[in-house]
Chains A and B, each alone.
Chain A
Amino acid sequence: TQLLEQSPQFLSIQEGENLTVYCNSSSVFSSLQWYRQEPGEGPVLLVTVVTGGEVKKLKRLTFQFGDARKDSSLHITAAQPGDTGLYLCAGVDDKIIFGKGTRLHILP
């Protein structure tokens, strides 16, 4: 069974702080994706990482993919209340397997 473990499960920090959340896979997928989900909505794709060692930036969000392509991290700089949500990592082959997510709450 392919598993993706995300940590921490919950994170509550003050606006302006930096944070990092992690995703570790039990196996190697063709690619790994990060999504953000708000309450009552479906997940929205943020980024896809494919190559070991890859780093992608999306404004204040930095995504890293480990050399072995089994671990990934999401770093947010100067967090804002609008960053609040559930951050999901997902392993992609012919279908997508999701981790349980990190629930992030940014306090104003």
Chain B
Amino acid sequence: AQSVAQPEDQVNVAEGNPLTVKCTYSVSGNPYLFWYVQYPNRGLQFLLKYITGDNLVKGSYGFEAEFNKSQTSFHLKKPSALVSDSALYFCARTGGGNKLTFGTGTQLKVEL
């Protein structure tokens, strides 16, 4: 079955420091990978996606993610975190069907 895993429930980082939110995917079918962010009591906002091509994908708000086939990972990164980046981040995938399969989410907390 196609799945994604987010091994960290919460990530804490100081403002100005680089941040990484981890995501790994199951090796099943073609992995089309997405990152979304959710602010409290809001829907999900699309950040970026990897379909094919360049392994480094740049997205909204300065975020980027690197598709790593050997490690089956698609970690979300940002060089310099902002307090306003604090939110819930979801990794997701499709492949072989309509559905988006979501990870369990990682709460990012950026502190001053």
Chain B associates with chain A = no
